[in-house]
């Protein structure tokens, strides 16, 4: 399917790895001129051919810098993907382990980065009748499935998408949320990441643990989702083929969430 995105411009945050990197690659394949923003610019991101911007999106200055640099590089922003994911701090030991500092750090990177980047990019998006996709999580619907601070922040991000769609949809800006379940990224596969911590708690080697994640979570597909699958859904939602999809949350969780 031709998504007719050639000549469009896009800003993708959290672009250095995982879903963000896969999204940059997919948009590049569709002919989109893209700026990829990340705290650390990886060789993989450079290899996409995207313009790269280093910024700490957990800070107001970082968000303003990222959007300003994207606007200068692209001449304006048609499409925005708020892809920043889990930060460095999250409470895997439960609610009582989530200090105020942990809550603040999680909300700054997971929610407020999207608030600030979207706010800064809105003049362009309104002028160009653009589209926004926020990367949420199935945890927003099943808050017990992950660290409490993270799943609550993702629930707030989902609510933000709905609110923005209602306010700015009549003015030509579409906003939607894509909520993955477990995706085969460094969050799960890195030796010191979230998945490795869970594997250690379970007393299992990481590869053995990852092989059991789909059944543990109840994924009907019996496999973790690939980043490219999420990126394909994001690209579709950014295209005019999805022009009647507004304020929606589309889960791509392998059937893990069983509720209607």
Catalytic machinery residues: 150
Asked if residue 77 lies in contact with residue 127, where contact means CB atoms within 8 angstroms, the answer is no
Helix 194-202 × helix 206-217 angle, to 10°? 90
The three-state secondary structure class of 226 is coil
For the chain, what is the radius of gyration of the CA atoms?
17
Query: Going by DSSP bridges, is the β-strand pair 174-180/131-135 parallel, antiparallel, or unpaired?
Result: parallel
- Strands ordered across the beta sheet of 51-54: 51-54, 33-38, 9-13, 79-82, 131-135, 174-180, 249-252
């Amino acid at each position: 399917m031709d998504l007719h995105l050639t000549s469009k411009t896009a800003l993708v945050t959290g672009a250095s790895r995982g879903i963000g990197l896969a999204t940059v690659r997919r948009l590049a394949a569709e002919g989109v001129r893209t700026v990829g923003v990340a705290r650390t610019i990886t060789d993989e991101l450079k290899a996409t051919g995207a313009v790269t911007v280093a910024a700490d999106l957990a800070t107001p200055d970082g968000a303003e810098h990222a959007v300003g640099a994207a606007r200068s590089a692209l001449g304006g922003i048609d499409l925005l993907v708020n892809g920043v994911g889990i930060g460095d701090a999250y409470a895997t030991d439960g609610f009582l382990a989530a200090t105020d500092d942990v809550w603040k750090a999680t909300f700054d990177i997971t929610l407020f980065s999207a608030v600030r980047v979207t706010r800064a990019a809105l003049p362009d998006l309104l002028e160009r009748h653009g589209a926004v996709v926020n990367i949420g999580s199935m945890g927003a619907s099943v808050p017990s499935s992950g660290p409490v601070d993270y799943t609550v922040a993702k629930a707030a991000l989902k609510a933000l998408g709905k609110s923005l769609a209602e306010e700015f949809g009549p003015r030509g800006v579409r906003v939607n949320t894509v909520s993955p379940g477990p995706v085969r990224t460094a969050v799960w596969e890195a030796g010191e990441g979230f998945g490795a911590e869970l594997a250690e708690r379970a007393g299992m080697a990481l590869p053995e643990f990852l092989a059991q994640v789909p059944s543990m979570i109840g994924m009907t597909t019996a496999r973790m989702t690939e980043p490219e699958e999420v990126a394909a859904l994001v690209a579709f939602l950014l295209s005019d083929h999805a022009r009647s999809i507004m304020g929606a949350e589309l889960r791509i969780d392998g059937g893990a969430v069983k509720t209607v």
